[in-house]
Amino acid sequence: MKHILSSLAIIIMAAACCNTPKTAVYLDENQPLEKRVEDALSRMTLEEKVKILHAQSKFSSAGVPRLGIPELWTTDGPHGIRPEVKWDEWDQAGWTNDSCTAFPALTCLAATWSEEMSALYGKSIGEEARYREKDVLLGPGVNIYRTPLCGRNFEYMGEDPFLSGKMCVPYIQEVQKNGVAVCVKHYALNNQEARRHTYNAVVDDRALYEIYLPAFKAAVQEGGAWSIMGAYNLFEGEHLCHNDRMLNRILKEEWDFDGAVISDWGGAHNTDEAIVNGLDLEFGTGTNGMDSKYGGGYDAFHLALPYYDRLKDGRASVDVLDDKVRRVLRLNFRTALKSDKPTGSICSPEHYDAARRIAGEGIVLLKNDNNILPLDLEKISKILVVGENAIKKMTVGGGSSSLKAQYECTPIAGLREAIGDKAEIVYQRGYVGDLLRKYNNVDTGIDLTDPRSEEQLIADAVAEAADADVILFFGGLNKSRGQDAEGRDRDAMALPYAQDKVIEALAAVNDNIVVFNVSGNAVEMPWIDKVDGIVQTWFLGTQTGHAIADVVLGKVNPSGKLPFTFPVKLEDNGAHALDAYHPDSLTVEYKESIYVGYRWAEKQGIKPLFAFGHGLSYTTFDYGEAKCRKSGDGFKVSVEVTNTGKVEGKEIVQLYIADEESYLERPVKELKGFKKVALAPGETKKVTFDIEPDMLKFYDPEKGWVLEPGEFTSHVGAASDDIRTTVAFNVK
Ligand code: BGC
């Protein structure tokens, strides 16, 4: 009987086995990725291969329907999930279920100097992208802040390659845990918006490797980014979306990048270069009136029929094609085709909380004379709020990062909510700047028109100023063209509109003023000595007003530090001092080489308005003596930091290293470590930095990376211009 039963079992099992269709290798997620990619590749026709290398709509590309390989859907990025657009247009499609959480701009994230906040940001925005069923998030951006005039600095992570490299990695890793790829942009040397499609950046190899590439390299090698976006402009005479040196040789060969290179929208210009110079997936090329031979539209894209024709008649090699297809398949298998993705979530209490925390940690207290902040509501009865940016919604506008936020709390709304009836809040506009209300058809719903003249606006504000206990001025830049916005640079570093005049007029009657600079860029502050407080608030998104109120009232102790230098004037910046910024020229020579930001200021001995790494707190921190010891191939530098004030706070302890002698000139010192530590009043913590030999190298254009033996000094402190302790070490 037992025998009969087991025979029966074998027969049943065999039948079950024969009835189960065998899963194709490319669909079997238990198989190694490369095996699946090869299997899919081997099944695809030439037409199918070409079809997946270019867009089919503004933001999507085709899959391989016959094989069940889905479409890829991309979305901007990098501060929230862009509203759905019409198939072929930039305008929003008018859906009612596509609003998002607007997270603080990336300059704010960089200003947190907190890898924990970067991870929280990536997790949250990744979940929103996942919920909206996006496969590729177009961000983060890590172009280096070269000039305060660049209109897109607000989307990037500042002037320092080490800081931006460290800060982008957790964001990337956390986004990708959602089965959503990042697309790191804009690789590379896209450091201005002026003539962004046509200028050729002339950059020496040392600056390229030491300043402009490290953050991208970190994104690829440490973050494991699955895609990268080519920049619009040119380098060595080739557009960066099809640039042999940058894409083939550096990104794919030197760095072993196995993901896909995606063109910026409309960044591909030449079919033959697009084929051989490393572009894998083409988006945004004009869809009207392109080569009529191919009927215009998406079929006329460089990597569409023009490519197909070249493959058919042997002008293009199938090996190169297959490499592109593999990369796009990898991207697809890691995202769209992945079956066990989380469901994601959107506008959740957790995401609102994350946005508020990141904003709170990124706000930078630049000046706080007489401890004007936090406000003590016991002693204040009238608060005068002045300035357009107190009432303006900033998540709409500025280019591709424009959002349709489900909710945006303006500064004035946040203050009113937090202060309630504990003090009277009077608002005065002060100046009229920009009336932008709609962008890509997303409407803020706020009518900003004001018929008053400049003089009248100032007079009305001043009339309320004399008896105010404190004046909170909200100004800075905004998201309209020529400000912090894509497609054009700023004309000047000064505050636009009548803002300087308003601040001067207010200060003439009442010097209890705090200026809140809402921007992603440095601005001139000719009135700096006439105000007690200055706060850099960035573009903070959904939670703007709440995060600002948290800091104003001391619920959050500010702990952000500047990720870029505020020069006093434009000429204090290297690119401008050397007349090496040319908005009208087709060639822009980066004459300052590696001397970007604080590297220039320190070399020239120029005192900035606010230095890189600067940021105050409502408490004070004391630093002990830095100690250094050998550890493996490198060194460990440690220092004790104590909170000497009355409230708890977070300090960002910064490590800069100076190479005391080298055969190539080096910066005075360079950031090589940072740690954000939370300290209760009276508490002391030991902070330790690891110095690896690679961190001490410089790039010699003749020899590559060089570690030169000799003496180095570790400078440990609270800012690049506030070094508290140093310790020397020797490399044998
Ligand atoms: C921008 C990119 C953006 C893309 C899609 C381009 O104009 O430069 O950053 O991701 O448009 O919106």
In Å, the largest CA–CA distance within the chain is: 105
pLDDT at position 436, please? 87
State if residue 265 touches ligand 1 by the CB under 6 angstroms criterion: yes
What pTM does this model have? 0.96
pLDDT > 90? residue 577? yes
CA distance 714 to 726: 5
Expressed in angstroms and rounded, the spacing between residue 264 Cα and the centre of ligand 1 is 6
Rounded distance, CA 507 to CA 85, Å? Answer: 46
- Does 192 have pLDDT greater than 80? yes
State the pLDDT at residue 89: 87
What's residue 507's pLDDT? 98
Q: Is 138 in the pocket of ligand 1 (CB under 6 A)?
A: yes
Specify the pLDDT at position 19: 54
Supply the residue whose CA is at minimum distance from atom 4 of ligand 1: 265
Residues 6+ apart with CB under 8 A from 277: 238, 242, 243, 244, 247, 248
Mean pLDDT throughout 268-283?
A: 97
Instruction: Give me ligand 1 centre to Cα 265, in Å.
Output: 6
Burial class, 254, CB count within 10 angstroms (exposed 0-12 / middle 13-18 / buried 19+): exposed
Nearest-atom index, ligand 1, CA of 183: 10
Pairwise CA distance, residues 723 & 15, whole Å: 76
290 confidence band (pLDDT: 50, 70, 90): low
* C-alpha of residue 579 to centroid of ligand 1, in Å: 29
Q: Residue 99, Cβ neighbours under 10 Å: how many?
A: 19
List Cβ neighbours of 695 (8 Å cut-off, separation of 6 or more): 634, 657, 672
Atom from ligand 1 closest to the CA of residue 196:
8
User: Does the beta carbon of 127 lie inside 6 Å of ligand 1?
Assistant: no
Mean pLDDT of the chain: 96
Looking at residue 562, its pLDDT comes to: 99
Taking the centre of ligand 1 as the mean of its atom positions, its distance from the CA of residue 228, in whole angstroms, is 12
Mean pLDDT of 78-100: 94
- Average pLDDT of the residues in 424-431: 98
- Environment class of residue 491 by beta-carbon count within 10 Å: exposed (0-12), middle (13-18) or buried (19+)? exposed
Distance CA 201, CA 211 (A): 14
185 CB under 6 A from ligand 1? yes
Question: What are the structure tokens assigned to 668, written together?
Answer: 């005075």
The three state secondary structure string of 477-517 is CCCCCCCCCCCCCCCCCCCCCCHHHHHHHHHHHCCCEEEEE
Rounded to the nearest angstrom, the distance between the alpha carbon of 88 and the centre of ligand 1 is 15
In the prediction, which pLDDT does 675 show?
98
Tens of pLDDT, residue by residue over 291-322, are 567 777 899 999 999 999 999 999 999 999 99
Residue with CA closest to ligand 1 atom 8: 264
How far away, in angstroms, is 46 Cα from ligand 1 center? 29
Does ligand 1 come within 6 angstroms of the Cβ of 440? no
Of all atoms in ligand 1, which is nearest to the CA of residue 232?
8
- Active-site residue numbers? 264
Ligand 1 center to 66 CA (angstroms): 31
**Residue whose CA lies nearest to ligand 1 atom number 11:** 265
Strands (E), 193-315: 200-202, 227-230, 234-235, 238-239, 260-262
Pocket test for ligand 1, best of 73, 265, 442 (most atoms within 8 A of CB): 265
* Ligand 1 pocket member 400 (CB < 6 A): yes
Distance CA 603, CA 669 (A): 9
For residue 77, the ligand 1 atom closest to its alpha carbon is: 10
Q: Is the pLDDT of residue 88 over 90?
A: no
Residue with CA at minimum distance from ligand 1 atom 6: 265
pLDDT band (50, 70, 90) for residue 17 = very low
- Alpha helix stretches (DSSP H) within 20-114: 33-43, 46-51, 106-112
Residue nearest ligand 1's atom 9 by CA: 400
- 526 with 482: CB under 8 angstroms? no
Give CA angle at 611 (608, 617), nearest 5°.
130
Spacing, Cα 78 to ligand 1 middle (Å): 10
Q: Identify whether the C-beta of residue 76 lies closer than 8 Å to the C-beta of residue 128.
A: no
Out of 73, 134, 138, give the residue to mutate to test ligand 1, the one with the largest number of ligand atoms within 8 Å of its CB.
138
The CA 492 to ligand 1 mean position distance, Å, reads 24
* Residue 76, ligand 1, Cβ within 6 A: yes
Q: Per residue in 114-126, pLDDT tens?
A: 999 999 999 999 9
Residue 288's pLDDT band (cuts 50, 70, 90): low
What span, in angstroms and rounded, lies between the C-alpha atoms of 621 and 53?
A: 54
Whether the predicted pLDDT of 156 surpasses 60: yes
Q: What is the percentage of the chain residues whose pLDDT exceeds 70?
A: 96
Q: Please give the pLDDT value at position 10.
A: 47
Q: Is 395 in the pocket of ligand 1 (CB under 6 A)?
A: no
Helix or strand holding residue 640 (H, E): strand 634-643
Residue nearest to atom 12 of ligand 1 (CA): 400
Residue 413's identity, in one-letter code, is A
For the segment 372-409, what is each residue's pLDDT rounded down to a tens digit?
999 999 999 999 999 999 999 999 999 999 999 999 99
The pLDDT of residue 20 is above 60? no
Output the pLDDT for position 21. 63
Residue with the nearest Cα to atom 7 of ligand 1? 265
Give, for ligand 1, the residue of 72, 76, 90, 232 to mutate: max count of ligand atoms closer than 8 Å to Cβ: 76
Find the 328 Cα to ligand 1 centroid distance in Å. Answer: 19
User: Can you tell me the mean pLDDT for 647-663?
Assistant: 98
Contact 226, 259 (CB under 8 A): yes
**Phi-psi group of 698: left, alpha or beta (phi > 0 → left; psi -120 to 50 → alpha; rest → beta):** beta
DSSP letters, 303-320, are: TSHHHHHHHHTTSS-HHH
Q: By alpha-carbon position, which residue is closest to atom 3 of ligand 1?
A: 400
Ligand 1: residue of 185, 233, 264 to mutate (most ligand atoms within 8 A of CB) is 264
Q: Does the beta carbon of 264 sit less than 6 angstroms from any atom of ligand 1?
A: yes
Task: Indicate if the pLDDT at residue 210 is higher than 60.
Answer: yes
Name the band, by pLDDT with cuts 50, 70 and 90, for residue 14: very low
Q: What percent of the chain has pLDDT over 90?
A: 94
Distance between CA atoms of 544 and 650, rounded to whole angstroms?
A: 21
Residue 18 CB burial class (10 angstroms; 0-12, 13-18, ≥19)? exposed
